Amino acid sequence: MTLFAEQRPTVGLGLYSLFARTVPLSYRNKIMLVAFLGTHIPLLALIAWYALASAPSLSEALWVIGVALFATLVGTGFTLVALNELPQPILMTARGLRRYAVDRSVPALPIGFTDDAGTLMADTVETLTRLEATFKQLAHHDQLTGLPNREYLLEVLARRLAKRERLALCIVTPRNEGVEVEAGLKRMQMLGCELFQGYYFSRPMPADKFATWLHDKGALAGE
């Protein structure tokens, strides 16, 4: 089953597209069919021609052809078994990608192989792992401050409580929404704050009075 029905360009997939439309077989069986037709038919034709041309009798020629055919079928069987197993890395990667698209579980693919198929599996695991870490970062951290959000803190708290780990909680309850006294202003400045608001500077006022107040403050600052 495909998750996306949008049509994509098929440039570079000419032979694959032809087989997909005309040969109703699985991808592995198509590879097996091509391998069989490409190697065994010319060989069998050569053996048959040589046997018929050089054998002293038809029965002996048929005997030679039969032995060659039997050996070819045995070799074909082993070849088909090998061809059936070799695409497994690609098939495992495809199943892992589909599973990740459904439930976002990173597939446990082997990463110790260095050929093309092994590199495909390793790159898939690394890419999905990084993608999942990015998703978790976006889901668990505030985008403006970069600090962990409430959901992440609750998740960590639940995980540590499940393990019966000892922990300490610091609960801060702000008593006001701004700077009200000079001591509070100095403390905020010590913490690195550069912008402030609060009753220490002014009480709420209408817009016209605020413009006058701001002008006076600017004049005083200029002096």
Tens of pLDDT along 24-52? 887 777 877 787 777 777 777 777 777 77
Whether residues 103 and 150 share a domain: the answer is yes
Q: What is residue 145's predicted lDDT score, i.e. its pLDDT? A: 67
- Residue 128, in any domain of the structure: yes
CA torsion angle for 125, 89, 101, 142 (degrees, to 10)? 0
Question: pLDDT digit string (tens) for 176-221?
Answer: 567 788 887 787 777 667 667 777 777 888 878 877 877 777 644 4
Q: In total, how many domains does the chain have?
A: 3
Distance from C-alpha of 161 to C-alpha of 157, rounded to nearest angstrom: 6
- Residue 135, in any domain of the structure: yes
- Residue 182, in any domain of the structure: yes
Coil, helix or strand at residue 64: helix
Torsion region of 63: left, alpha or beta (phi above 0 gives left; psi -120 to 50 gives alpha): alpha
> Where among 68, 86, 104 does a domain terminate?
86
Whether residues 81 and 126 share a domain: the answer is no
**Residue predicted with more confidence, 149 or 130:** 130
Cβ burial of 179 (10 Å; 0-12, 13-18, 19+) is buried
- Residue 2, in any domain of the structure: no
* Maximum mean pLDDT: which of 47-61, 67-81, 125-139, 141-155: 125-139
Q: What is residue 222's predicted lDDT score, i.e. its pLDDT? A: 44
7 pLDDT above the threshold of 60: no
Reported as a pLDDT band with limits 50, 70 and 90, residue 68 is confident
Whether residues 94 and 147 share a domain: the answer is yes
Single-letter code of the amino acid located at 187: R
**Residue predicted with more confidence, 23 or 11:** 23
- Residue 219, in any domain of the structure: no
- Residue 217, in any domain of the structure: no
Q: Residues with Cβ < 8 Å from 44, sequence gap 6 or more?
A: 65, 68, 69, 72
Whether residues 136 and 113 share a domain: the answer is yes
Whether residues 82 and 99 share a domain: the answer is no
Distance from C-alpha of 130 to C-alpha of 139, rounded to nearest angstrom: 14
Q: Provide the domain limits for residue 195.
A: 175-201
Which is nearest to 201 in space by CA: 223, 174, 178?
Answer: 178
CA distances from 52 to 58, 67, 199 (A): 7, 14, 110
Q: What is residue 71's predicted lDDT score, i.e. its pLDDT? A: 80
Whether residues 79 and 106 share a domain: the answer is no
CA 176 and chain centroid, separation: 46
* pTM of the model as a whole: 0.49
Cβ burial of 62 (10 Å; 0-12, 13-18, 19+) is middle
Whether residues 101 and 141 share a domain: the answer is yes
- Residue 3, in any domain of the structure: no
Q: Where is average pLDDT lowest: 3-12, 75-84, 146-155?
A: 3-12
Whether residues 59 and 25 share a domain: the answer is yes
Whether residues 69 and 121 share a domain: the answer is no
Distance from C-alpha of 64 to C-alpha of 70, rounded to nearest angstrom: 10
Q: Match 């960590």 to its residue by tokens.
A: 156
Single-letter code of the amino acid located at 70: F
**Residue predicted with more confidence, 111 or 172:** 111
- Residue 5, in any domain of the structure: no
Whether residues 47 and 71 share a domain: the answer is yes
